[in-house]
Amino acid sequence: MNWLSLLIEPLPNFNLLTEEFSFLIQDFKMDHQSELNNLNMKVRLRYENSILESKYPDFRAIAKDIEGFLNNYPNKIDYWEILNKKLTLLVLKKYRMLSSITTEIQVSPSPKVSYLRSSIVTRSQSKRRRTK
């Protein structure tokens, strides 16, 4: 059996597929909590099962949406966890071909807070709301 026949012939129990894509936004500057913060963000996207090839999003558009959200975030005193929850909601509402998103916002130490800290949020769409 050659490799091409392996791809063409359906095999039982090989159709269970989880597909993810991740990217990193590094050294993003954000004025938040009364100081300029340096953020590193890990973003992991999980696609809907059986996503059509034409429905894959360009991750650069998602990254730009995230950067725009951070640049225009209105409540400058929110905890990072609150900001992160709102961010994941925005991405899932806009990119319906995603079944879930995990974002880790890592905040570098600063003069006011000397600790490296992270907020990690995973948000999934409910099955009845999902679309392909």
Condensed to tens digits (0 to 9), the pLDDT of residues 33-75 reads 999 999 999 999 999 998 999 999 999 999 999 999 999 999 9
For residue 3, pLDDT beyond 70: no
Fold of the domain built from segment(s) 17-129: GTP Cyclohydrolase I, domain 2 (3.30.1130)
| pTM metric for this prediction | 0.85
- Please write the tens of the pLDDT for every residue from 100-123: 999 999 999 999 999 999 999 999
Q: DSSP letters along 60-125, please? A: HHHHHHHHHHHHT-S-TTS-HHHHHHHHHHHHHHH-TTEEEEEEEEEE---SS--S-EEEEEEEE-
Domain boundaries of the chain, sorted by first residue: 17-129
> What 3 state SS string does 42-78 have?
EEEEEECCCCCHHHCCCHHHHHHHHHHHHHCCCCCCC
